[in-house]
């Protein structure tokens, strides 16, 4: 059996504040959206007791911009947890308008204990909430 990441869809509301002098979404807004999407992914799939005990700090974002987004666009981020290694998690987030890819983001995050703020490993049973078992082909 192999594990496959469970896709998590996060709807993005393009706000007037996201629009830059060129009339499309500023690149910095994509970073904000990815951070919101990954945190929502964690809160949406992890057990409540794990959410209460752990926080996430972004370590790195690598963004490839494909197309501009505009005010009133219907934008969705699809988040995948690629792997967890120690206290680090590696994500892929694809931001789309319909079938068009607007941006692709690879990011790494550090899990920290909510009380001590020190790096913290997740238990295997918590990590399992983010993956589905599939038959190997």
User: In this predicted model, what pLDDT tens digit does every residue of 78-123 receive, in sequence order?
Assistant: 999 999 999 999 999 999 999 999 999 999 999 999 999 999 999 9
The answer to whether the beta carbons of residues 46 and 107 sit under 8 Å apart is no
Contacts within 8 Å (CB) and 24+ apart, 78-84: 78/7, 78/8, 78/9, 78/10, 79/7, 79/8, 79/9, 79/10, 79/37, 79/38, 79/40, 79/41, 80/5, 80/6, 80/7, 80/8, 81/5, 81/6, 81/41, 81/130, 81/131, 82/5, 84/122, 84/127
Q: What is the CATH number of the domain that holds 48?
A: 3.10.129.10
The reported pLDDT for the residue numbered 102 is 98
Domain count, the chain: 1
* This model's pTM is above 0.85: yes
Q: Which domain holds residue 130?
A: 2-134
What is the rounded average pLDDT for all residues in the chain? Answer: 94
């Amino acid at each position: 059996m192999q594990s496959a990441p469970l896709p998590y869809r996060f709807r993005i509301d393009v706000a007037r504040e996201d629009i830059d002098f060129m009339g499309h979404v500023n690149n910095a807004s994509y970073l904000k959206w990815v951070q919101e999407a990954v945190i929502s992914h964690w809160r949406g799939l992890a057990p409540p007791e794990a959410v209460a005990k752990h926080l996430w700090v972004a370590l790195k974002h690598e963004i490839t911009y494909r197309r501009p987004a505009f005010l009133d666009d219907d934008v969705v981020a699809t988040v995948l947890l690629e792997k967890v290694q120690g206290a680090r998690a590696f994500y892929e987030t694809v931001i789309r308008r319909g079938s068009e890819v607007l941006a692709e983001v690879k990011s790494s995050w550090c899990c920290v204990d909510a009380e001590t703020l020190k790096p913290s490993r997740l238990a295997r049973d918590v990590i399992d909430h983010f993956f589905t078992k599939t038959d190997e082909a």
